[in-house]
Amino acid sequence: MTTILCIRSWLAGYRDAIFLLLSLGWVNCVGAEAGIDHRPNILLILADDLGYSDIGSYGSEISTPNLDQLANNGLRFSSFYTTASCAPTRAMLLTGVDSHRAGVANISEALTPEQAHSPFYRGTLNHNVITIATLLKDAGYNTAMSGKWHLGYADPSLLPINRGFKQTVTMPFSGGDNWTQQSYVPHYEKTLWLENGKEISVPEGFYSSEFIVDKAIQQLKNNQENHAGKRKPFFSYVSFQAVHIPVQAPKEFTEKYIGTYKEGWHALRKNRQNAVKDLGLIPASAPMKRMATTDDWDKLSEEEKRYNDKRMAVYAGMVDAMDHHIGRLIQYLKESGQYDNTVIIFTSDNGPAASELPLLWIKALGYNRDYETLGERYSYGTIGASFGSAVASPLGHYKFHSGEGGIRVPLIISGPQVADSNRGRISHSRAFVKDLAPTILALAGTHHPGTQYKGKAIEASTGKNLLPVIAAKTDSVYTDEDVIAYEIGGNAALIKGDYKITLNRGGTNDGRWHLYNIIKDPGETEPLETVETTAFFDLLAEYESYARENGVIPVPKNYHQPVQILRNGLKARFKNSISSPTGLLIISILGTMIILLMARKLTGQSP
């Protein structure tokens, strides 16, 4: 391969062409100075349960200056898709392989006994997939992770320290408390934290977003100190708990937003719709759906309005705090001289959680939801279905569901590889979470090995490299014949061209396939299956092929993800303390009663 010496300023005008060649694997960029590696650093930042319009550059009223600056210096995507649940998205993000084939077709907390027998439904990352961390480490990158993992921990071989990351500080579960190590669901005795595979205790004054960034910065410092005099590029994966339940934020961040939401969720949804349209993220003519799970704000008492204003203020404070700590990480990169050669990617694992938990559940876990301390230590915050759909505005649905609000999220890519003509712009190119793995590898000048790795059969990466879009060489890497598809918990979607079919089960959903034109109608307000029948049946046939190829197992008719989550959690919590079948039955009945109370309020919950 040709070696390019990237030390002359007169080559700057050819930067985009050089990096396009790098993306295709034609050349390597190695410094002329001995021991200097000029390949870009890569910082991957993942929020948890963040809504489509939850940051300023996507139309939010929440203060997110650091992310907005990344957007101003980079490229935003208006149509970036994930799955509707955290672990399946994370599996695809790190491998470029469909979540079923990677072993994470459903989150482990919601598996049925039938699913648990399939290698596609382990709820943990299979060993027949190779992470980008492994491939980047092979290519000479220093690899580090700080934050939520949720891809397996019971077997040490599943931990990130054994999946390509050289330095790790990780919380392995679906979520955790942001102030302490108490558990937020019955599945776990406590919130576990591990450093390089060994259990640690969180420090005094712990707050998750601050701690995750502190550890990420320390990992980057270790990299510099361990390679003094020799620049070694890094891949850093920073995975926040914000804004997963329990919704918690430092008081000073919450107080900034008290009163901001006193007009309620209808006003917020409308304001965000207008802002998203003004930014050009969706067409100005696009209609907006009102979810059946949205309550009438005007029917609330003044005390109820006051409480709901604050619970949303805590949520906003949690987003604000995350952005603040991202700013600290960016400032470290600048002070250490690494910022100018770092590609920063920011996105979310899925849309917002519409959690509405009964007081009995909260107290049983050792929490309260008192107004005065809402968001603080031992407080269990949620935003409910009404605000949950508002923060996905102008899209419909939310986490766990295949509506646009559950699977369309922000994506910002910033750094030297972004073409000057793309800076501050919005790309309307379709993109899927699987695409980030090959894109990251291309940025590093390497690629996925295909179906063999060190003599072992592996799953091939099926994502698309987005670097030609980033470098302004093309408007899109997707054609009208390309398909984006996923399924989790019986909810499913498939996108092809301008059209999307979507299936949502349980609650107020009708459990039927519907067709939408998501270019004209991203709010999914007008079903077209009886009008555009050719497109409808074409997409249904595509989905059937996808389901066969990826081992999709139909869920039982009465399957409801929140019910299964609680049932599994109760079994895990009480399996050692409940010895009789009668005792276990009582616990199961009690748990089902609790979760059915939750299901009356909305169609899905966040584990």
**Per-residue pLDDT tens digits for 202-245:** 999 999 999 999 999 999 999 888 877 678 999 999 999 999 99
Helices (H) and strands (E) in the chain, counts: 17, 18
| pLDDT reported for residue 108 | 83
The answer on 286 and 274 residing in a single domain is yes
The answer to whether residue 555 sits within a structural domain is no
Segments of the chain with pLDDT less than 70: 1-35, 229, 562, 569-570, 572-607
Domain assignment present for residue 607? The answer is no
Q: Is residue 110 part of a domain?
A: yes
Provide the number of structural domains found in the chain: 4
Q: Which of 86, 187, 244, 560 is catalytic?
A: 86
pLDDT at 358: 85
515 and 456 together in one domain: no
Please report the pLDDT score of residue 576 as a whole number: 47
CA angle 239, 65, 413 (to 5 degrees): 55
254 domain-assigned: yes
Note whether residue 606 is domain-resident.
Answer: no
Residue 514 neighbours by CB under 8 Å, 6+ apart = 501, 502, 503, 524, 527, 528, 529
Say if residue 123 is in the same domain as residue 34.
no
150 counts as catalytic: yes
pLDDT of residue 192: 97
Residues 125, 34: one domain?
no
Q: Which of 572, 561, 560 has the alpha carbon at shortest distance from 185?
A: 572
Concerning whether 397 is annotated as a catalytic residue, the answer is no
Please identify, among 431, 448, 483, the residue that sits at the C-terminal boundary of a domain. 483
- Give residue 508's domain range: 484-549
Count the neighbouring beta carbons within 10 Å of the beta carbon of residue 356. 20
Q: Over the stretch 303-319, which tens digit does the pLDDT of each residue have?
A: 999 999 999 999 999 99
**pLDDT at residue number 594:** 53
Residues 404 and 425 both lie in one domain: yes
On whether residue 554 sits in a domain, the answer given is no
Strand partners, 237: 44, 145
Half-sphere exposure of 421 (CA within 13 A, CB side): 11
Q: Can you tell me which residue has the tokens 């699977």?
A: 407
Catalytic residue (one of 29, 38, 150, 187): 150
Domain presence at residue 226: yes
| 54 lies in the same domain as 33 | no
Same domain, 243 and 350: yes
Residue 164 belongs to a domain: yes
